[in-house]
Amino acid sequence: MQLKADMERLPDILQPADSGARLSKRERTRRQLIAAGIRVFSARGVAATSLPQIAAAADVTIGTVYNHFRSKTDLVGAVALDIAETIRSRSAPGRAQLETAAEQMAAGCRRYLGLAKDSPSWALLILDVASIDPAFRKTITGFVATELRKGVKSGEFTVDSEAAALDLVIGTTMEGMRNIALGAARKGHATAVTAAILRALGVRPARARQVAAKPLPLF
């Protein structure tokens, strides 16, 4: 029942913002297929989903699917990119209100950890897609790198290796998401994970705890 409810109500952070632009019929169909992919992948998992199932969910023919995507791998890549860019654009107004890199990094981590708490099946979908297609990880890495470099430049963060720091932030956040979504984490785990990431980036313990627990505009 919960999975069905999650399918019917896409979390706000995964809802694409309406740009107001008039789209071509081809682009509308492409977006329709991506939305159907997100729904079916969430219900069945990526591995167990077929393109005919996605065609049925989108109410189009399988030929229409192949007019837009050569394979399921192509569609998974489009879904990964759509999810990453949607989360980033939906959170942009809140992120703009934050002045420090530590707050921006904390808000970014808590966005995903909060999704795992509020919509477990959707969070597991993100983790599933991220493990299969490199597009999601590559896009997210670019976002995190911007905030990491800002923190290093301002002196908030101290890291020996940018690549290692990126692995730490993204890997720790995703593992935290998995534990929260599967119900294996205690209350307050999102805050604890966020504080641990900030400390690993060189933020003083008291400051890390304060920022991790601070009400932040996540969306």
| Count of domains observed in the chain | 2
pLDDT at residue 5, rounded to an integer: 37
Please work out, in degrees rounded to the nearest 5, the angle formed at the alpha carbon of residue 131 by the alpha carbons of 60 and 51.
Answer: 15
Q: Which letter does DSSP use for residue 21 in this model?
A: P
Structural domain includes residue 7: no
Identify whether residues 128 and 103 lie together within a single domain.
yes
pLDDT, residue 11, reads 67
Q: What is the pTM of this model?
A: 0.83
Please list, in sequence order, all residues whose beta carbon lies within 8 angstroms of the beta carbon of residue 52, skipping any fewer than 6 positions away.
Answer: 62
Given 31, 55, 75, the domain boundary residue is 75
Structural domain span for residue 172: 84-213
Question: At 26, which CATH number?
Answer: 1.10.10.60
User: Per residue in 10-57, pLDDT tens?
Assistant: 666 666 665 556 879 999 999 999 989 988 988 888 889 999 999 999
Range 158-166, long-range pairs (CB < 8 A, 24+ positions):
158/201, 158/202, 159/201, 159/202, 165/200, 165/201, 166/141
Query: Do residues 48 and 134 both lie within one domain?
Result: no
Q: Examine residue 2 and state whether it is found in any structural domain, yes or no.
A: no
- Beta carbons within 8 Å of 131's beta carbon, 6+ residues apart: none
